[in-house]
Amino acid sequence: MSMSEIFEEANFTLENRRIDSEVRLQEHIDEINRKFPELASIDKEISDLTQQQLLKSLNGENVTDIPDRIEVLEEKRAELRMKYGLCDSDFRPQPYCSVCGDTGMVEVNEDGKTIRRPCSCICEILAPTLLSLGGISKYPDMSFEKGATSFFAKNPAGEKVYSAVKILAERFKIPDMVLFGTSGQGKTFAAVSAARYYAEHGIPSMVIRLSDAQELMMEYRKIVQAFYTVPDKEKRVTALRDLIVDAELLVLDDLGVEVKTPNSEADLLYILDSRAQLGKKTIITTNYDLSTLRERYGARIYERIKRSYKCYSLSPKNAG
């Protein structure tokens, strides 16, 4: 399933909720009208007069008396509603989500600016699919909610970086970054936790080992060059390849452990350059330091990382 299909499905769910709210409102109003026929009669009079006013206006006829008659009826209706213990909410749709009114979006203030963000209701709809498609569900024990006190108990440098990543993720301000250090220092834990946070808040994200990303790129090339490909496979591979480029946050895990192929450098450059052009953010994790990365990948990739990525070490010996 592509990203556009995922969001279309979520918006379809919201649309159905809005329709259901309107249906429930009409059923409620019908029940009120059956119980209080006088109210139903006044509503009909107001509706008839409003239609009459419109038709006369279109025909150029005098309608000066109609607004006053409507006003009198509306006042009488308000008195009756109060008498029968009815309030405005009885005549308004009651959305499933009172925060966004089933629109799926809310406005929040960030740094003095009003920003539109996905509401928690649509995030609940999107999250399972985003977590699964983005490969994040493969890491069930990696999230900010799990905490990291015990994990970083003997590594204050790692905990400092983890805390910074957490703060940036919670503000949706993750920059392009490289997390490096020896194995077992929490690089993947921090990166996946950030990706999970994004996905759970309705923002497309992806976690993939670089070796798997390269295999995926190879599969995609085969599909493009093939005379025929099984449609389901083509759709799946294309959706994942597109997500590598389009995800708001991509975690490229374990840079340096992949087997080098004739396309290794070209694939990595394509991913990094494509995402940079789209303004998408990437977290790279690696066991190598920057000098080793330069030796392994050459100047072109090294310069891109050095120029555009913030680099953080989680190794205790590199603290500070």
By the 10 Å C-beta count (0-12 exposed, 13-18 middle, 19+ buried), 65 is classed as: exposed
Residue type, 139: Y
Q: Write phi, then psi, for 141 (nearest 5 degrees).
A: -95, 10
Q: What is the pLDDT, as a whole number, of residue 320?
A: 38
Q: What angle do CA 172, 102, 130 make, to 5 degrees?
A: 45
Secondary structure of 105-148 in HEC code, one letter for each residue: EEEEEECCEEEEEECHHHHHHHHHHHHHHCCHHHCCCCCHHHCC
What region does 172 belong to: left with phi over 0, alpha with psi -120 to 50, or beta? left
Length of the chain: 320
Place of tokens 């204050």: 156
Question: Token pair of 277, please?
Answer: 């052009």
The answer to whether residues 162 and 189 touch, using CB atoms and an 8 Å cutoff, is: yes
For the CA atoms of 125, 126, 127, 129, the dihedral, rounded to the nearest 10 degrees, stands at 110
Q: What is the pLDDT, as a whole number, of residue 298?
A: 83
Query: In the chain, which ranges are E strands?
Result: 105-110, 113-118, 177-180, 205-209, 249-255, 281-286, 310-313
Q: What is the pLDDT, as a whole number, of residue 317?
A: 62
3-state secondary structure of 254: strand
Q: Give mean pLDDT in consecutive 10-residue pieces for the chain, a chain of 320 residues.
A: 86 96 96 94 94 91 91 95 93 94 91 88 95 94 79 81 94 94 88 96 95 91 80 86 95 88 87 95 92 85 90 71
Rounded Cα distance between 97 and 57, Å, is 40
3-state secondary structure of 313: strand
CA distances from residue 102 to 114, 215, 304 in whole angstroms, order as listed: 20, 40, 42
Rounded Cα distance between 74 and 160, Å, is 64
Q: Which residues pair with 106 in a beta bridge?
A: 117
Q: What is the pLDDT, as a whole number, of residue 147?
A: 67
